[in-house]
C-alpha cells in the first residue's frame, strides 16, 4: 500500500510541475506569412509595401504583425534608396496573455544590386529609429542576398542579415534564410523558405516563410 501511495504522489507531483512549467517558444517551428509589394510610378520612384503575420506555431499564437510603407528612389542601375515607416505589434509571451506592445519605426535603406554571371547579388544597409514603450532605440542592419535562376519560372535564394543595436550589446541578432521562388505571372511571385534566427541572448528560432510578392508598373506608356 505504501508503494502505491508513494507512486501516486510522484505522478501527481510530475503532473503539477508540467502544468506550471511555461512553454518554450524556442522549441516550436513557427511560420511567417508574408506580403511584399513594389509599385513603380515613374522612372525613378516606386512605392514599397509590406505586411507580415508572424506566428510562434503554424497558424497559432501570433507573435508579431509588421507593416511597412516606403518610397524608393532609383539612383542608377546599381544603387537605390528607400525612406519609409513601419508599425509592429509584438506579443513577447507564448501561450499566455500579456506582453503585447506597439513599435513605431522610421527606416532608411541604401540598396545595391549587381550580377556575376547568372548569380545576382543584393545588398541592403538599413538604419531604423524605434519608438516603443516610451523609449527610443536605433538599429543598423546589413543584409546580403544571393539569387540564382533554376528555370524561366523557378529561382533559388540565400540571404544573411545581421542586426546591430546602439543600446546594450552591439550585436542584436542574425537571420539566415534560404528557399525557392516561383514566378506565377509577370506581376505575382510566390516564395517558400526557411529561416534561422539567432539572438544575443543565445536563443535560436526556426521559421518557415510563405510569401507572395506583387510588382506592378504604373508608368505612363509612350504613345509613339
CATH number of the structural domain spanning residue 175? 2.40.128.130
What is the phi-psi region of residue 95: left when phi exceeds 0, alpha when psi lies from -120 to 50, beta otherwise?
Answer: left
pLDDT(141) > 70: yes
The whole-number pLDDT of residue 135 equals 77
Whole-angstrom distance, CA of residue 12 vs CA of residue 61: 29
Residue 8 lies in a domain: no
Residue 23 lies in a domain: no
CA dihedral sign, ordered 67, 73, 79, 82: negative
The residue segments making up the domain with residue 61 are 34-217
The whole-number pLDDT of residue 14 equals 43
Residue 14 lies in a domain: no
Segment 100-110 mean pLDDT: 91
pLDDT in tens, 122-139: 999 999 998 877 678 889
Contacts of 17 (CB under 8 A, 6+ apart): none
pLDDT(102) > 80: yes
What the block records as the C-alpha cell of 143 is 543584409
Side-chain half-sphere CA neighbours of 207 within 13 A: 25
For 73-131, give the DSSP string: EE-SSSEEEEEEEEEEEEE--SSSS--EEEEEEEEEEEEEEEEETTEEEEEEEEEEEEE
Residue 29 lies in a domain: no
pLDDT in tens, 148-171: 999 999 999 999 999 999 876 789
- Find the radius of gyration of the CA atoms of the chain: 22
Helix and strand numbers (H, E) in the chain are 1, 11
Residue 158 lies in a domain: yes
Q: How far is CA 38 from its chain centroid?
A: 17
The β-bridge partners of 79 are: 112
Residue 19 lies in a domain: no
DSSP annotation of 25: G
If pLDDT is split at 50, 70 and 90, which confidence band does 71 have?
very high
* 139, 128 Cβ separation under 8 angstroms: yes
Segment 82-98 mean pLDDT: 80
The whole-number pLDDT of residue 91 equals 81
Residue 137 lies in a domain: yes
Query: How many domains, the chain?
Result: 1
Whole-angstrom distance, CA of residue 101 vs CA of residue 64: 10
Residue 11 lies in a domain: no
| pLDDT, the chain, mean | 86
Amino acid at each position: 500500500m505504501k508503494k502505491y501511495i508513494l507512486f501516486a504522489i510522484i505522478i501527481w507531483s510530475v503532473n503539477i510541475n508540467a502544468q506550471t512549467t511555461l512553454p518554450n517558444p524556442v522549441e516550436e517551428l513557427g511560420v511567417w506569412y508574408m506580403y511584399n509589394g513594389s509599385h513603380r510610378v515613374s522612372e525613378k520612384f516606386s512605392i514599397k509595401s509590406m505586411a507580415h503575420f508572424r506566428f510562434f506555431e503554424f497558424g497559432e499564437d501570433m507573435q508579431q504583425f509588421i507593416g511597412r510603407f516606403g518610397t524608393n528612389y532609383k539612383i542608377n542601375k546599381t544603387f537605390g534608396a528607400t525612406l519609409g515607416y513601419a508599425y509592429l505589434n509584438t506579443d513577447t509571451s507564448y501561450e499566455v496573455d500579456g506582453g503585447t506592445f506597439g513599435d513605431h519605426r522610421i527606416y532608411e535603406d541604401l540598396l545595391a544590386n549587381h550580377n556575376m554571371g547568372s548569380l545576382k547579388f543584393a545588398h541592403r544597409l538599413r538604419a531604423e529609429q524605434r519608438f516603443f514603450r516610451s523609449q527610443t532605440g536605433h538599429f543598423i542592419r546589413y543584409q546580403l542576398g544571393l539569387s540564382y535562376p533554376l528555370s524561366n519560372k523557378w529561382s533559388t535564394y540565400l540571404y544573411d542579415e545581421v542586426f546591430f543595436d546602439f543600446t546594450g550589446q552591439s550585436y542584436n541578432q542574425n537571420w539566415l534564410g534560404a528557399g525557392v521562388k516561383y514566378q506565377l505571372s509577370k506581376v505575382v511571385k510566390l516564395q517558400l523558405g526557411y529561416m534561422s534566427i539567432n539572438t544575443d541572448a543565445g536563443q535560436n528560432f526556426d521559421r518557415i516563410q510563405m510569401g507572395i510578392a506583387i510588382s506592378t508598373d504604373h508608368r505612363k506608356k509612350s504613345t509613339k
